A and B are shown apart, each in its own frame.
Chain A
Amino acid sequence: MMAGGNVRFLVLILAVAICGAASVFQPISDSHRSAALDVFVPVDGSYKSLEEAYEALKTLEILGIDKKSDLSSKTCENVVKVLQSSSSTLKDAFYALNVNGILKCKIGEAGPKDIVSQLQAGVKDAKLLLDFYYSVRGLVLAKEQFPGTHISLGDAEAIFRSIKSLSQSDGRWRYSSNNPESSTFAAGLAYETLAGVISLAPSEFDPSLIQSVKTGILKLSDSIQKYDDGTFYFDEKSVDASQGPISTTASVIRGLTSFAASESTGLNLPGDKIVGLAKFFLGVGIPGDAKDFFNQIDALACLEDNKFSVPLILSLPSTVISLTKKEPLKVKVSTVLGSKAPALSVKLTQALSSKSVDSSVINNQELKFDADSATYFLDSFPKNFDIGKYTFVFKIVLDESAHEKVYITEAQTKVPIAATGAISIENAEIAVLDSDIGSVESQKKLDLTKDGAVSLSANHLQKLRLSFQLTTPLGNAFKPHQAFFKLKHESQVEHIFLDFLGLVEKLYYLSGKYEIQLTIGDASMENSLLSNIGHIELDLPERPEKATRPPLQSTEPYSRYGPKAEISHIFRIPEKLPAKQLSLVFLGVIVLPFIGFLIGLTRLGVNIKSFPSSTGSAISALLFHCGIGAVLLLYVLFWLKLDLFTTLKALSLLGVFLLFVGHRTLSQLASASNKLKSA
């Protein structure tokens, strides 16, 4: 068939080179299975909801763990209850049918008919994407589980169109026609629903409709995102989406695989993206959350079960080659869920050393296959394979024979490999030199493999030189990652130097006998060493008065790593407030002048005679005084409790009132006094 030929053509072209950092992905293994038993733990023999029950049971079924017998009774009760009641929601019915598919509970004769008619009514009335999803997928499940009942979808094309109307031009889908927000997760649900409609439809669909869906899939796959290590994933555009990348990618994969299965075509994604999606899920490791675990395993199962693009993963049990042990490098190829791969061959196309990235040490070596352990191995390395860090590039070539399924792999898999070996140390010697001239005063040869008993003496004017040569097994010069030189005084005062000249002050002016210790280490070196070279007598000048004394070392060797002295943070001490009584006394003192004022007023003979007597003016005068009093009260409240803004608001109101009243009062007073004057 044309379609099959196209797909196979796509598979065999390993055209796109993946430029990414190298990393190793392991397929699903037994550690996943034991973790699944811990994550999906039912509470009291059943799960909290049918959704959780479905997720747990499906995951355990895919992983091949049989726990059905423990849970089936209570969960089946729930399932039967939901399927037999006529008022269950579409969501409950959907998950009940899903669980029934796994557990195969016994439902009576009448049950299926009710639920089917309920779902069919749901399809007719559905307006939201989720309603379409639950009802259509529920009908698909019912058709599988109850083969006798008759299920018809009504006007399938109309339903297809109404689901399609919720789509957007960038490939995403909206949840309802009212809500303009679109989501990638909803797109996955929509593709699953459309696949269900196609499979339930009595007749063929208009190919233009199918084509429009396929273009939508292409647009959606443009929004795929990538991490640096070559994994691909889908994520939501908006930041506060409720679905993370794992659930979004899983939903899209479910949608695309079910759509491809219903259409009997391949997934409309290029091969490296499919493998990238598989690697994304494998890279998650073992999730701790039940929903993430379900999404991971379900998506990987979808990728594995589809007929047209099954990804294969290349993994290495160990990425270290030891040149001394002469063990072969093992490589495993399997599907994502850990099952066997078909007949293929693995080639090591290049081995790029970290030092010289252009030229490759090994070229196009084919790995031998060991059928017993189902691993490929490489046991012979070329003569110029030295220790160090390498990047090995593997390529999987599928055998030409016909397969049931079509497999896809990455174009090349890059794996970081470290090669280790034994380093030989030669020409080690230690010398004391006169500082300026550089002439050797005393020189001794060292054998660094054994503890030496060299003894030297020096004073602060001279230099100490330690030299040695490290060579790799092949004879190339080698520079270690770490080289430490340690001097230890008799009283256990230690100093560690990286470069070989220590300052006199750093040695705390302690003269006497020092022990010399040399440490050389590196990741590629199998025989890193720590050796005592010998002793050196240092004759240092007298300590001047100001120099720091050596710290007193306690006898315990690990005490220098103990907790340091605690630094206590001193907050600014709040200033001392005067005593409370003093403040109260002064309050009394302040009041005194006020009393004096009142007394003076009475002595002056102040009166309120001109307080107006007629009612109108009396009221306004009274209100005026009340107004002023209210404002002052407001100020007191402001001081005690309120903030500026509420005060200003209240003040503006009171102010307007006061203005009005005051104006009236004062004008009346003025007119009264005018009358008095003129009279």
Chain B
Amino acid sequence: MVKSTSKDAQDLFHSLHSAYTATPTNLKIIDLYVCFAVFTALIQQVAYMALVGSFPFNSFLSGVLSCIGTAVLAVCLRIQVNKENKEFKDLAPERAFADFVLCNLVLHLVIINFLG
């Protein structure tokens, strides 16, 4: 039983991996970006806060939220750019990218203001 489940897991992992390599490069870039952002957020929150504490709370909040926010925006971008997504077929990817840039700029303005 255990063996099968582990084999299943391995099979699952392999299939996922092979499917993933088929995705176009664009989307991989975006995925990488998302991972980077989330990872940064984890470092900030978990590691730093656990060690030191969240003294200037506004700074802590703005740091974490900027990472999460930009990750969310990247995910949106990925959804919109993905050609296999039928809902967004008519939307040109450049337009989606422009939206991404604009929203990021607004997010960062708010974050910097809150950083204090």
Partner-B contacts on A (CB < 8 A): 575-578, 582, 586, 589-590, 592-594, 596-597, 600-601, 604-606, 628, 631-632, 635-636, 638-639, 644, 647, 651, 655, 662-663, 666-667, 669-670
Contacts and interface: CB of A to CB of B under 8 A. Distances in A.
A605 B25 contact: yes
A670 B47 contact: no
Give the bracket for the number of chain B residues in contact with chain A.
20 to 34
Contact of B25 (A604, A636, A647): A604
5 contacts: A578-B52, A582-B51, A586-B43, A639-B112, A663-B98
Nearest to B113: A644
A516 B109 CA distance: 80
A4 B25 CA distance: 116
Given A597-B33, A632-B108, A666 B95 contact: yes
B36 A593 contact: yes
A666 B55 contact: no
A631 B105 contact: yes
A226 to B, nearest CB: 58
A586 B48 contact: yes
Contact of B36 (A596, A647, A666): A596
A638 B28 contact: no
A589 B101 CA distance: 26
B29 A601 contact: yes
A639 B28 CA distance: 32
Interface in B46-104: 47-48, 51-53, 55, 92-95, 97-98, 101
A330 to B, nearest CB: 77
B32 interface: yes
B96 to A, nearest CB: 10
B32 A600 contact: yes
Contacts of B98: 662-663, 666
B40 interface: yes
B108 A594 contact: no
Given A590-B44, A594-B36, A662-B101, A575 B55 contact: yes
A601 B35 CA distance: 12
B9 interface: no
Contacts of A644: 113
B95 A590 contact: no
A324 to B, nearest CB: 79
Contacts of A576: 55
Contacts of B39: 593, 596
Contacts of B47: 586, 589
Nearest to A662: B98
B82 to A, nearest CB: 15
